[in-house]
Amino acid sequence: MQSHQADPRALIDRVLTSSRKLGANAAEADINTGRGLSVNVRMGQVETIEHQRDKGLGITVYMGGRKGSASTSDFSDGALEATVNAACTIARHASQDDCAGLIDPEFLATSVPDLDLCHNWEIAPQAAIELAVECETAARREDARLTNSDGSLVGTYTGSHLYGNTHGFINGWDWSSHNIDCTVIAEENGRMQRDGWYTKARDRRDLESVESVGREAARRTLSRLNARKLATRTAPVIFEAPVARGLFSAFIGAISGGALYRRASFLLDKLGEPVFAPRIQLEEQPHLPKELGSVPFDDDGMATRRKHLVRDGVLESYVLSAYSARKLGMTPTGNAGGVHNLVVQTGEQDLDALMRQMDTGLLITDMIGFGVNQVTGDYSRGASGFWIERGKVAYPVEEITVAANLKDMFQHIVEIANDVDNRGNIKTGSVLIENMTIAGE
């Protein structure tokens, strides 16, 4: 039997064995395969239909403290042999790094729980087209001011991940991801605004309906019409849940091993110290069934586990791979590849109640650019949203910049609403921050 027809486990075993014969004292490999369909329509007409079929094998070999990596999408005998040879050649010429190597065997996952991550959606292209058209139509029929569209998309993907190393570990899981997306354009008084909405889930039955996605895209776009600029000021700020994820993403970057051992983080040496307001609880929950960030083990093969990163505002854990843990002289945390389902504990209020609590200030619903200094924590980003007065939306605003330092922002979080956005790896509600600088006219 030719290698490209072989069982993926046999392929991983084969390349690991080959690497040892070529002088590697340790090696690890993974195989990722998948297939998908993506359909995009605009103004009722099909723009693109994409069928995806992906496969790839990557191998990393270690020769003492020297490391080499190579990959291939060709699973034929010759291609696999050439890939292993390439990785070994790179390792022989690489510089010595005493921290390089596989994770210690004691940390490897001994069991792989079924997290219910794979739900095939066998949808024909014509049916996907009809759903996309229905979604866009639902948006555009909401109001005559919705004069144009950036399109509507229906996508589905099912994949498989398998990882093995020369400690004798080999395991993996199947997964899926499906999404519906719509963006429309509104025009009034010669000025245009665009916005959209999307839904994403492991299981298509957990997606919002195409009608609700279209209507929400329309509502958000229409609400931005006749936006104003603000005069420069300081005021309380609410980050709506979808954009609030970025705040916690910056936090994860600052407590990740790579930033810490390079000493390029504004949260250096803060373990055990308060970094958030006392009310804040951040927990990693990697085994939530069906969730987009769930994984049974990390990229090193280490078992993932539930743990507090922040408890009562105090930093309890860094986010470390085997390599970064060695660089820091610490224990790995099961975070090779990042954090897996960061759950931000919310309060009991919804977004409307949070606005009433704020009374007067800025609600941010969209952000532009990337303005975070990972070393100092300085934060400055373009934004748009709504000016709030007496707890209610007064008018939409645009072309403003919000600025502060993340250390101060984290310490001055007043409340987190219960409108949790579950469409990603960071699960948070809208976040009210006591005060920020708003630069405008």
Task: Specify the 3-state DSSP secondary structure of 25.
Answer: coil
CATH, domain range 3-37+45-107? 3.30.2290.10
Distance set, CA 95 to CA 22, 68, 92, 159, 263 (Å): 18, 10, 8, 35, 21
Superfamily of domain 125-163+170-223, CATH level 4: PmbA/TldD superfamily (3.30.2290.10)
Burial class of residue 334 (count of CB atoms within 10 Å of its CB; 0-12, 13-18, 19+): buried
**HSE-up of residue 26 (Cα within 13 Å, Cβ side):** 15
pTM of the model: 0.93
Interatomic CA distance for residues 355 and 388, integer angstroms:
7
Looking at residue 370, what is its pLDDT?
A: 81
What is the distance, to the nearest Å, from the Cα of residue 379 to the centroid of all Cα atoms in its chain? 20
Tokens 């519906």: give the residue. Answer: 180
> How far from each other are the two terminal CA atoms of the chain, in whole angstroms?
70
Name 186's bridge partners: 146, 193
Task: Specify the 3-state DSSP secondary structure of 200.
Answer: strand
Task: Specify the 3-state DSSP secondary structure of 265.
Answer: coil
Rg of the Cα atoms in the chain? 24
- Give alpha helix (H) positions in 114-265: 125-140, 210-223, 241-254, 257-261
Kind plus residue range of the DSSP H or E element containing 88 = helix 77-93
| Contact indicator for 68, 61 with CB cutoff of 8 Å | yes
Task: Specify the 3-state DSSP secondary structure of 355.
Answer: helix
What angle (nearest 5°) sits at the alpha carbon of residue 406, between those of residues 401 and 410? 115
Interatomic CA distance for residues 14 and 31, integer angstroms:
12
Average pLDDT of each block of 10 consecutive residues along the chain (441 residues)?
66 97 97 98 97 97 96 96 98 97 97 96 98 98 96 98 98 98 96 97 98 98 96 97 97 98 97 97 98 98 97 98 98 97 97 98 94 95 97 97 97 98 96 96 81
- Give alpha helix (H) positions in 206-331: 210-223, 241-254, 257-261, 322-328
Secondary structure letter of residue 348 according to DSSP: S
Interatomic CA distance for residues 149 and 137, integer angstroms:
10
Going by DSSP bridges, is the β-strand pair 45-63/146-165 parallel, antiparallel, or unpaired?
Answer: unpaired
Looking at residue 4, what is its pLDDT?
A: 44
Interatomic CA distance for residues 102 and 20, integer angstroms:
14
Backbone φ and ψ of 242, nearest 5°: -60, -30
What residues does each domain of the chain span? Answer: 3-37+45-107, 125-163+170-223, 227-441
Are 3-37+45-107 and 125-163+170-223 equal in CATH topology? Answer: yes
